Chains A and B, each alone.
Chain A
């Protein structure tokens, strides 16, 4: 079970039901194999839940969804101790977070206190309730979504929370031909809530995912690639449009993603193109722009573009 073959198979399987966003599927899978969490930004109705369910099914792991709302409490996420009158003691009732794949829908609609309930789970893969720490299942992935349009009544994610997402993906509206195909599938009887009917196969299990992760971590990274990677992330701290640059966690995340991308491409070594390909999803949410740059409409993707154009690649031919 090689990483490249399995990766391609999973992507093809998920693409059967989630049409027209192969880039997002690949990025999400790369993040999952790298052991990170995913922040999906897109309008409602673009198939974010379907994507999460299809991936979790193809990977053979469980899936739960939490709809974040302003009145959602931390215990609604993590679970809590409830007094059992029969046994006359408090019994822990695990929350929906105890699942391998968690879809945190519209995460920015919950207040900061509830969002913070995810912090420990995302970074340490454990939950502490009433002084007791409980391990989350392995693997544990969070796929959070947020709507970029409706900002009223939302709580922007704090930097500490954002930094814990390995990648951030944009989901765009499908092209017309993709949408036509989607309609054809619907006419043919496809039901997004019933993946059994769609014939979506399970290709992996939790151990298989761990094996892919191990394979990815064995992908060779040259010393020059490490230097290049550090230079890329370091440049975010010196860019004039950036108020606060990316953290070392970003460097580690970029490294892990580049390793998985290289393995998925059938290589056992990382090339600069892998780093460049993953730079946008890994870095775009990890730095804060200067207020004047934001007012001018500068987007973080543009800053990443400028950085990629500026930092010399290892062995880059001098013009």
Chain B
């Protein structure tokens, strides 16, 4: 059975989680791999085949910013003369049914989007303090009024287990009350909790605030630094804080929380790991090749030359090591480790420069030839692993006791690159090459990935899309329609309208009656109403209902007589009787 499963799961992209490969949809960076897919068996990645044959409209990018750099191809539609087959349709509906479903879905999506926008707006309003501070949050009540020496440590270590926004409100309250130190600590707790919950930071008991700061991209550190620096001064220096400084920290914390809600602070955050530009394919490929693979969570400067890590894989389209990082990386490589790097790394002059090259057929010795979307730039120096004679898209170079395997084309480490079986075989072959003595490496090797999606979860829209809820939504809509047909709108019997509705209707009737009376038509209308009442209740029924309404027996009998007279002769109409009759009928309902 295991053999059968293994045979069925030939490629890492066979998993339907790689939706760009199996579904017809306009995923970001789909176009970059259309030339690759042309020579590939149509049963492999049918979704990408269908897309490249008839490209769909690109979706709104949302949080998914474009990668930095990378080699992207031109749109392939010009090169495909005519679409061969209808696009892949997962639900196989007819044209009209599709149109109907689309309309229905568009309404549903519009409702969801409106709901989300209202929710986000409400949260934002709460964050920026439109609520009155007098509305004391629970966090404030739970905290000590003053932070004395004894409670200092406890208050810091036991940041109340409350939502970030509550902590921030408590911080504002503390600021208003003049408890500046506590305000700064609560702001820190709110920010760290928020970033941690959104997995923008990896919280760990042994991490310091400065290490958290280092986890963020350089361009996004300023806000968090504003918060943490105040805490540091207060916490470790016991320096009295100034209101202005704490206010600035709270403002930074507020901004940070709002920004983190949208997961848009960096392209690396919220990137689709299973998309064409994701890195799950590489992770699984290396794992299937026998390596112990993990994502690198710590900074490059912490690379230990003595560590057991054999290979570090860096995709420069997603990570941006600093100069200090490159120094640490080089020292680590020189100590006898191997770096795979996609892009032009700093600090490795052994690789020469990236130079442009004309279209040419690449050659590779001893390994399957990788196929590129277009011929990438190449390095000028280094032992060519792949070469077209003038430039070397993939080179190997020794650095100290270790070495660097450099890929000029950054897409070679992306999921989309694996749509061609030869490419998959090439990357796996590189690992085998090292295993056979090509470079220093333990067997099984330990590998860490430092790629764009290494520490990121997909953004909420993508995560929802990955849940494949559409069939479920169809079922719910169908059930809803059945209920509408069976029970009517809105699934329940009519009930007594609310009081204000009744009053409005009463006023309306009186106005109409007065108008009819003025024009002489009220007699006929009143007679018709009297006939309708008698037909519905009968003489006895009307008398009984009038008594139930509170009229005396005599008055009820008078009302009945009057109604009968009015119905038969259209004479004797009075507004008082009509009002009584109206009220009695209201009671009957």
Contact = CB atoms under 8 A, between A and B. Distances in A.
Interface in B205-222: 205-208, 210-212
Nearest to B155: A315
A73 interface: no
Contacts of A134: none
Given A175-B327, A268-B237, A310 B304 contact: no
A225 B305 CA distance: 29
B349 interface: yes
Contacts of A77: none
A128 B308 CA distance: 47
A317 B206 contact: no
Given A172-B331, A299-B306, A302-B304, A222 B159 contact: no
A271 B232 contact: yes
A220 B238 contact: yes
Contacts of A315: 153, 156-157, 235
A84 B452 CA distance: 77
B204 A319 contact: yes
A302 B189 contact: no
A249 interface: no
Given A276-B208, A318-B205, A177 B349 contact: yes
Contacts, number: 87
A314 B159 CA distance: 13
The prevalent SS among residues of A at the interface is loop
B196 interface: yes
Contact of B206 (A225, A301, A312): A312
A94 B327 CA distance: 44
A271 B210 contact: yes
A191 interface: no
Interface residues of B, number: 36
A234 interface: no
B347 interface: yes
B236 A270 contact: yes
A175 B304 contact: no
Contacts of B350: 176
Contacts of B192: 317
Interface string A283-319: 0000000000000000101100100111111111111
B206 A308 contact: yes
A175 B205 contact: no
A175 B330 contact: yes
A312 B205 contact: yes
Interface string B538-556: 0000000000000000000
Contact of B208 (A173, A268, A272): A272
Q: Which of A268, A269, A316 has the most CB atoms of chain B within a 10 A radius of its CB? A: A316
Contacts of A301: 304, 306
A271 to B, nearest CB: 5
Contact of A175 (B207, B212, B306, B347): B347
B334 interface: yes
A120 interface: no
Given A177-B349, A317-B189, A317-B192, A269 B236 contact: yes
A311 B206 contact: yes
A305 B236 contact: no
Contacts of B193: 317
A9 interface: no
A299 B335 CA distance: 14
Interface in B174-224: 189, 192-193, 196, 202-208, 210-212
Nearest first, the 9 closest Cβ-Cβ pairs linking A and B are A269-B237, A312-B205, A319-B203, A316-B205, A299-B306, A269-B236, A315-B156, A272-B208, A317-B192
Interface of A: 172-173, 175-177, 220, 222, 224-225, 267-273, 276, 299, 301-302, 305, 308-319
10 contacts: A172-B331, A220-B237, A270-B236, A309-B204, A312-B205, A315-B156, A315-B157, A316-B205, A317-B205, A318-B157
